Amino acid sequence: MDERLKALHGLILPMQKAQKALTVLRSMGLRLDGYELRKDQSMIMIPLAHKPTEPQNDILRRELGTFQIQQVPFERKVSRPKSLQEAVAGQIPSHIISILPRSFDVIGDIAIIDLPPELGAYATEIGNGILQVSPHVRLVARKSGEVAGKFRTRGLQTLVGSGGMETIHREFSCSYHLDVSSVYFNPRLSHERLRVAEQIKEGEVVVDMFAGVGPYSVLIAKLHPNSRVHSIDINPSAIRYLKENIFANGVADRVTPLLGDVRHFSEVKVHGIADRVIMNLPSEASNYIDAALRILRKDGGLIHFYQFVQRDTSVDSIKDSFKSTVAAENREVKSFDFCKQIREIAPGRVQFAMDAAVV
């Protein structure tokens, strides 16, 4: 017999009685923990600590009606480690564990971790540890470079697991098909995307200037069926997945994907049409404020602006810089409705989010 299996006395009864049976068995001290329940068509088999005595059988019959007691092979429950540190303990030196990253990104069924050079020799052990901690993950990749280039992609090196870099990521009832090696996607911004999406008003026109595979655009369109979203990206792979995603999420009638340079579209296709503009390109957004202003309606609207800054950068200095750039384009910032650091991207560096009402 498989070493994970053990022959035990089991209570066998119809599936619909399972919950009551578990409650009764626990109250009698008969439920054996540490082993999986078994299901067979319409029946369930529950492992017992020992064969019930006759008085116990009388109670079971009174509470549950008809049942059987038989010896059945039950599988031991697998105890998964609670953290990556616990998973690799004993496999890598303890002084190395102290510099192990405390978190990693999971996009769909792919985990991506940033490993310092000192951990390179233990990359396989760390990858296998992630698979133990996160059973839904099928592949673990290591970052091998920074997000760079006009397509905002980063190098990735497969550590362990199977399959390619394509996956389906789900958040807030939306699903996103993507290839993590050919497009940019950050799962840590999910709540920021929801914060913005929940602000959209009835009938608004939104321009997502750096849309990627559509995490802002699709969520907005799904939450607000009367909205119209124009989604721009220069990366052909991102637009290909964006098109797939708007159909997969049932929002193709309200999201328009546009492949190309946002500066070009700010002069033609989306010039002066937007009630709201999303500028989720924090590394370069400050260089595109003029384009955002051309996209915004002449009577004004709202810009969701993102920027990477040093942690000690004052909010006032960020506001002043934005206001100056807007003023140079003969527009005016009416108010700042939201100004906050939303995440750390590196020691001493953070991502800043700002909602600016412009007239």
Is 1.10.10.1800 the CATH classification of the domain at 183-358? Answer: no
At residue 57, the pLDDT reads: 93
At residue 126, the pLDDT reads: 92
The domain locations on the chain are 5-75, 84-164, 183-358
Which tokens belong to 338? Answer: 């939201």
At residue 149, the pLDDT reads: 67
At residue 295, the pLDDT reads: 97
At residue 351, the pLDDT reads: 94
At residue 2, the pLDDT reads: 58
At residue 34, the pLDDT reads: 85
Q: Which CATH architecture has domain 5-75?
A: 2-Layer Sandwich (3.30)
Same fold, 84-164 and 183-358: no
Provide the whole-model pTM.
0.77
User: What is the C-alpha to C-alpha distance for residues 287 and 109, in angstroms, rounded to an integer?
Assistant: 35
At residue 148, the pLDDT reads: 63
Pairing status of strand 301-310 against strand 276-279: parallel
User: What is the C-alpha to C-alpha distance for residues 36 and 44, in angstroms, rounded to an integer?
Assistant: 11
SS3 content of the chain, % helix, strand, coil (to 5): 30, 35, 35
At residue 88, the pLDDT reads: 87
Q: CA separation (Å) from 134 to 120, 131, 160, 164, 248?
A: 21, 5, 13, 18, 26
> What are the residue ranges of helices labelled H in the chain?
18-28, 54-64, 84-88, 94-97, 123-133, 190-197, 215-223, 236-248, 262-267, 289-295, 315-328
Q: Give average pLDDT by consecutive 10-residue segment, the chain, 359 residues.
A: 79 92 92 88 91 93 92 84 86 84 92 90 92 92 76 83 94 94 93 95 96 97 96 96 96 96 94 96 93 96 95 92 94 93 89 95
Task: Please answer whether residues 181 and 187 qualify as being in contact, where contact means their C-beta atoms are separated by less than 8 angstroms.
Answer: no
Is 3.40.120.10 the CATH classification of the domain at 84-164? Answer: no
DSSP state letter for 200: P
